[in-house]
Structure 1
Amino acid sequence: MRVKNLILGILPVLLLASCGKKQEATAKAPVFETWVTSKQNAELQFSYPVTIKGTEDVEIRPRLEGFIKDIYVDEGSVVKKGQLLFTIDAPSTEKDLRTALAAVMSAKAQVNTAKLNVDRIRPLAEKNIVSGVQLSTADNSYQTALANLDQANAMLANARASRSWASVTSPVDGVVGTITFRKGSFVSSSYVITTVANIGNVYAYFSLNEKDLNTFLKNLPGATQTEKLKNTPPIKLVLADGTEYPESGKIQTISGVVNVSTGSANFRVEFPNKAGQLRSGSSGKIIIPEQLNNVVVIPQGATFARQDKTLVYKVQGDSVVQSVVSVIPLPDGLNYAVTDGLSEGVRIVKSGVASLTNGAKITAK
């Protein structure tokens, strides 16, 4: 009876001790949410700063020296090819034109005189009244007069062309840029008065270093660069204020030579600009998408950094093991595409990894 009472007395103590051990075990194995890796398709986005130019950015320079007489357009005006922009007051052109006209009239008179002389001598030479030498001399004088007339006409054409240069017209359809000189300013061919930019379509220029260029081309289908450019995806443009331009662009060219000083190659992307929203000289950034097929995608919260490496915790039974992975951030800012270090069907800790250590015991959720 005494033994029975002793057992009954000890039993509660044993039960309490057992519960305590279970609670202690539970405390040593905290619960962590886990993630089983799977493969899916994902899209990467690479951004590069760009400078935007019109498809034709033409510097407007006068072809003669003089003073700006009149300005017929304003900055930002939309102009057509051949439209008058400025007139240059160059008195020397009028003087040269009058001189050239006078020279033509004089040359014509000399031609007429020389021809009359030939016509007078020819019948006399045929009757041997005068020598053939006199006829040849008269004929040579006539040919010289004709040549002088041709020269005078050429000078007249040049004088008229010079006078026409006093009217400066737009060489292309486009938009007038900043006008750097005003009425009365002295200008010459070394001065840029303004720029006219054709912005019906625009070019966005960016560059890639040699390593990124090789990677970019390697990932595009096609045997030649021309074929690869045809297979480039539509390019997005983000403007300086952060808004996305509604039209997509297409890569047109890649420079054939890598710049020695910068080690980069230049790209040209063409964007339609029917509404005229894009202006020559503006800036932004382009977004180049790249499709990744059948890759492992994991939450960014499942990773942590150590020195220059990215790691995850793989779940093995009731403990975790650190594992190095190579990842690329996805545009959503929440996930990574894994390029190396994880295969499909692996369970990893999804969140709270900062509180874990290698080999720690957990309860997977």
Structure 2
Amino acid sequence: MKKKIYHLLTVTLLVAMLTGLSSCGEGKADQQAGASQTPTLPVIELPVKTLTGFQSYPARIEGVVNAQVFAKISGYITDVAVDEGQKVRKGQVLFRLETQSLNQDAAAAKANVNAAQVEVDKLKPLVEKNIISEVQLETARAKLKQAQSAYNSIAANIGYGTIKSPVDGYVGAINLRAGSLVSPSSQTPLTTVSEIDKVYAYFAMNEKEYLDFIMAATGGVRDEKIKNLPKVTLTLANGEEFPQEGTIETVNSQVNENTGSVNFRAVFDNPQRLLTNGSSATLQIPKTYTDVVVVPIESTIDRQGSIYVYQVNENNEATATEIKVKDEIQNLYIVDSGISEGDRIVAKGTQNLKGTTTIKPQQTPFDSIAAPIKKSFR
């Protein structure tokens, strides 16, 4: 009986030992499995930087002097004396009109002047001899002035048949050629003469952009703010940057009722005459942010218009944190609120995270995630 009891105790002890060893093995396996499920993700520490971005606006280019040339009389063009793009001086002949009929009218008017003059000359001695009254002579003199006025008017019209440049500048498109009939009521100018050594760039902001822009400018009253505005640049239609910087000269004092925008005018030196009247360009206004927290756009998540990053705490727990963005420059968001300098965030792989997740952080240099900072336009 004692041997049976002893045997049962031995078997029970062996079973307990085996069970314990099995439990220990399973625990270690669970621990290893848990460790293998913790994701290893790159983590960056947020710095502060000073960045300059650019706000861009479509611009229309016009010469500082931009004179449209119209005919003052009706007639057919007989001669185009200049070519498109030619530099001309004030008073230089541009077009000539047919004036044959006017010359005939002028000859008839001149004859009337001569006849009226003869009448006056004939009456003068008669008045002096009191043969006729002074009234007759004055009437003859009035007719002479009337005839002279008619002749002068026709002569002036003949002069208008030679159309001259009103200003120094460059000839634009010639819209009508020899043989075309023109008149003072024509809506299309014969050409436009533009002075393009300096040019104006016209652009517009909506009302909100205008208010933000003016309120951010240094100075007291509005005129002081305009004088203190930064230099602006142009990007040409071929994507190249115009070599000269410009100055914003005027800002319209009224909001356009139809478009809700405010018009601006900037002036640029144009020594090489790269810009011509009617050119298009993109105007950039620089905006500098000093010592601001930045986040790579690649490290953020956009959820229904809200921007999130996964912030990593001291326990290596990554939690979605909403941030407010002030601006975007190249591949970086400028942070307004939500995170601070020195905070750690997950740099890549955030799309696989949900809620609060424990991670194995892999410290990564910020600049390896964010490309080198360059000028950017938006």
Query: What is the aligned partner in structure 1 of residue 323 from structure 2?
Result: 325
Shift of 1:21: 4.8
Shift of 1:322: 1.4
**For 1:166, which of 137, 147, 161 is the aligned residue?**
161
C-alpha distance in structure 1 between counterparts of 2:323 and 2:246, whole Å: 35
Query: What is the aligned partner in structure 2 of residue 141 from structure 1?
Result: 136
Shift of 1:139: 2.4
**For 1:176, which of 162, 171, 182 is the aligned residue?**
171
Shift of 1:311: 0.9
C-alpha distance in structure 2 between counterparts of 1:154 and 1:226, whole Å: 51
Change over 3 Å in CA distance of 1:36–1:156 after alignment to 2: same
CA deviation string 1:121-155 (max 9, x = no partner) = 2xxxxxxxxxxxx8xx7223333333333333333
**For 1:188, which of 180, 183, 190 is the aligned residue?**
183
C-alpha distance in structure 2 between counterparts of 1:165 and 1:248, whole Å: 42
TM-score, with length taken from structure 2: 0.83
C-alpha distance in structure 1 between counterparts of 2:34 and 2:113, whole Å: 116
**For 2:40, which of 15, 20, 31 is the aligned residue?**
31
Query: What is the aligned partner in structure 1 of residue 198 from structure 2?
Result: 201
C-alpha distance in structure 2 between counterparts of 1:81 and 1:233, whole Å: 36
- One-letter amino acid of the counterpart of residue 112, structure 1: D
**For 2:351, which of 332, 350, 354 is the aligned residue?**
354
CA deviation string 1:89-117 (max 9, x = no partner) = 02232123223322332332233233322
Shift of 1:222: 2.1
Shift of 1:18: 6.7
Q: Which aligned pairs between 1:7-86 and structure 2 lie closer than 5 A?
A: 20-86=29-95
Preserved CA contact (<8 Å) 1:47 1:287: yes
Query: What is the aligned partner in structure 2 of residue 279 from structure 1?
Result: 276
Preserved CA contact (<8 Å) 1:41 1:294: yes
Preserved CA contact (<8 Å) 1:45 1:330: no
C-alpha distance in structure 2 between counterparts of 1:235 and 1:42, whole Å: 17
Alpha-carbon RMSD across the aligned residues, in angstroms, is 2.8
Shift of 1:347: 2.0
- One-letter amino acid of the counterpart of residue 229, structure 2: T
> Matched residue of 2:242: which SS?
coil
**For 2:256, which of 256, 259, 280 is the aligned residue?**
259
> Matched residue of 1:107: which SS?
helix
TM-score, with length taken from structure 1: 0.85
CA deviation string 1:163-214 (max 9, x = no partner) = 1111111112222222222212211123322222222212222211111111
C-alpha distance in structure 2 between counterparts of 1:231 and 1:344, whole Å: 31
Count residues in correspondence. 347
C-alpha distance in structure 1 between counterparts of 2:126 and 2:166, whole Å: 50
- One-letter amino acid of the counterpart of residue 342, structure 2: G
Shift of 1:61: 1.5
Structure 2: stretches of 5+ with no match in the other structure:
1-9, 364-378
> Matched residue of 1:360: which SS?
strand
Preserved CA contact (<8 Å) 1:43 1:330: no
C-alpha distance in structure 1 between counterparts of 2:160 and 2:126, whole Å: 41
Overall identity of the aligned pairs, in %: 34
